[in-house]
Amino acid sequence: MKHAHHFSFLLLFVFLFINISLGFAQEDEKNDDWWKSTTVYQIYPRSWYDTNEDGIGDLEGVIEKLDYLQEMGYETIWISPFTESPQRDFGYDVSNYYKISPQYGTMELFERLLDEVHSRKMKLVFDLVMNHTSNEHEWFKESSSSRDNPKADWYIWRDGRGKHGTKRPNNWRAMSGNRAWTYHPERKQFYYTGFLPFQPDLNYHQPDVKNAMFDVARFWLDKGVDGFRLDIISAIYEDSTLRRNPMSIHMVPSDKSLTIFFQHLKHNFLQEESFEFSTELRNVIDEYDHPKRVLIGESHGREDLIHRFCYDKGKNGLNAVFLFNAVSMPFKAKKYRKMTENFERYFAEPLVPTLVFANHDRTRTITRLGGNVNKAKLLAMFQFTSRGIPFTYFGEEIGIPRVRIPLKEGKDAIAIQNRKTPQFLVNMSIETLNRDECRTPMLWNSSANAGFSAANAQPWLPVAENFKEINVEKQMNDKNSQLNLFKNVIHLRSQTPALHKGKLEIADEYCSKKVFAYYRIFEGKKYLVVLNMSKSVLKNSFPKGQILLSTNNNYKADFLQGYEGRIILCE
């Protein structure tokens, strides 16, 4: 009897132990690597939803539209910068990392937003601009005031060359095309900028700078943000010996290489130290474990190099980097196949690729695709079923087009810098020199100002002319709309483990010049995704299986329509 008593105690103990550890395991599974299976929506707050009739979106507007994003199935939002800034680069020029820009709201409002996000089991990613500050930041004001103030070396200062010290320290150009050095009369020295002249680069060779910025990161992590999108992390270090940049045969930058005006930005971008920096930043982030936080870096460059941001010399760094090659990838099956193979090669498990086709700097996708909605739907099917983290730039789900705004009228600092460029040259390129063109307001409905701002308000940028045909309300009610394809594929992805965490295998037997096909496999379940990237109607030679989703609601089982994509559950 006594023994039996002990035995039941033991059983109870084992039972409790198993339950507790299972509980933890489940909890951990939820916490662990959540970013790998998430879907991210990028909000450009200025253009999202204006609740106070000033023509500019605000944080209250973000709160009000969270239900929409949740209904669409997005799990994470990334908001472009809303901290204090003179707004010359609309927030990417920060003058105070600890304050909210008054046009967007207050800290209290931000905290409410974060609560609202978390209460919906969603995540919020903060856009952290570490590389540079605004020239109106107190740090820069102090640093530029003399050569011997306590922050004298917080930025990158150099004497000029030549007899009178008036020649720039070297030949470097910034990513935005301009010369990288600006003369400062007070210090009688030049300061370096990797982007525009009002965005002085911080000097990360100075440990106090690093610590100050890591404290900024901790401040936001303490508030509860779920991670950071790191603005031009590729620019964080530059060669301290100022080696001359070599010539390049390319005039304009591409998604593969950092080149501008025939100069290869070899010594001021993508320096070895950047990779080490990522691992140091990882350590800061790892101080926060429940829940885990994410780091997503913005860098151009080839995958075989930039994968080192994520893992280098045996150490973990960022969780992901944007893979911008996809943005300008020609819409061809073979190209997509090669791109995917490359992603799988350099971002194999435990790393994860990113799937990004647009953002607040680049031409709108639907315009890039020549206005072809079927192609846009196909791209979405690829984006939400391939292995990787999908990013939707606001309005891509309804197909907001590029809104033509002449350079001369541009509010964007890049447009202002290039305002003398002949407009006909600008019009020839699919890439945009005036980023206003991809930042025009969200189209919510067919009322005045497309429902972005009150009827009596003046939106900060013009609303796309075709807003009566293209808007959220209208597309919600049309089962064949682009929006509903996005919604369906996002929901299918989140309900189907194979689609958000399965292995990816190229379905070689179905790939051709016209078709790109791959499997997603998880725990014995296999899904085939077939994308007809041509306009031809193709005879169906695919395996038997249930068609879970097609980009064409009137699909025929025996044929694949032009630009049709399908997801099949293999038998």
From the list 50, 60, 84, 89, which residue makes contact with ligand GLC (rule: CB under 6 A)?
89
For the bound state, the minimum distance from the C-beta of residue 62 to ligand GLC, rounded and expressed in Å, comes to 18
Shortest Cβ 231–ligand GLC spacing (Å):
5
Is 360 a binder of ligand GLC (CB under 6 A)? yes
Contact flags string 30-49 toward ligand GLC, x per CB under 6 A:
--------------------
Q: Are 359 and 42 in contact (CB under 8 A)?
A: yes
Q: Which is nearer to ligand GLC, 198 or 336 (CB)?
A: 198
Which helix (H) or strand (E) is 375 found in, with range?
helix 373-385
Confirm if 417 and 196 have CB atoms less than 8 A apart.
yes
Other beta carbons less than 10 A from residue 198's beta carbon: 18
Please select the residue that binds ligand GLC; options are 195, 444, 486, 518, rule is CB under 6 A.
195
Rule CB under 6 A: choose which of 174, 232, 381, 415 binds ligand GLC.
232
> Which of 58, 231, 436, 437 is the binder for ligand GLC (CB under 6 A)?
231
Position 361 contacts ligand GLC (CB under 6 A): yes
User: Cβ 301 to ligand GLC, closest distance in Å?
Assistant: 13
Strand partners, 515: 532
Task: Give the residue with the Cβ less far from ligand GLC, 75 or 231.
Answer: 231
- Region label for 181, one of left (φ > 0), alpha (ψ between -120 and 50) or beta (otherwise): beta
- Of 73, 75, 51, nearest in space to 62 by CA: 51
Rounded Cα gap, residues 136 and 93, in angstroms: 9
Nearer to ligand GLC by C-beta: 173 or 360?
A: 360
State the number of binding residues for ligand GLC (CB under 6 A).
9
Whether 544 and 535 have beta carbons less than 8 Å apart is answered as: no
Strand-pair category, 227-230 with 83-84 = unpaired
Smallest gap from Cβ 361 to ligand GLC, in A, equals 5
Smaller CB separation from ligand GLC, 439 or 493: 439
How far out from the chain centre does Cα 541 lie?
Answer: 37
Question: 364 phi and psi, to 5 degrees?
Answer: -60, 140
197 vs 441, beta carbon nearer ligand GLC: 197
CB-CB contact of 46 with 460 (8 Å): yes
As a dihedral over the C-alpha atoms of residue 228, residue 343, residue 351, residue 234, rounded to 10 degrees, the angle is -40
Residues of span 242-301 touching ligand GLC by CB under 6 A = 298
The residues, ordered by sequence, that sit 6+ positions from 382 with a Cβ below 8 Å of its Cβ are 336, 355, 516, 529, 531, 565
The first and second tokens of residue 17, run together, are 């132990």
CB of 433 to ligand GLC, least distance (A): 13
> CA 92, 93, 98, 104: dihedral to nearest 10 degrees?
-60
Position closest to ligand GLC via CB: 92
Report, in Å, the least distance between residue 250 CB and ligand GLC: 19
**Binding ligand GLC by CB under 6 A: which of 72, 77, 113, 129?**
129
Helix, strand, coil percentages (3-state) for the chain, rounded to 5, are 35, 20, 45
Residue 258 or residue 483: which is nearer to ligand GLC going by CB?
Answer: 258
Least Å distance, CB 413 to ligand GLC, is 7
By C-beta, is 195 or 220 nearer to ligand GLC?
A: 195
Give the C-alpha separation, 147 to 142, whole Å. 10
**Closer to ligand GLC at the Cβ: 92 or 190?**
92
Site string for ligand GLC, 293-332 (x = CB under 6 A): -----x----------------------------------
How far apart are CB 358 and ligand GLC at their closest, in Å? 12
Query: b vs e for 93-105, b when ≥16 Cβ sit within 10 Å of the residue's Cβ?
Result: bbbbbeebbebbb
User: Is 92 among the residues that bind ligand GLC (CB under 6 A)?
Assistant: yes
List the catalytic residues. Answer: 231, 298
- Kindly list the residues in this chain that would bind ligand GLC in the complex (CB under 6 A): 89, 92, 129, 195, 231-232, 298, 360-361
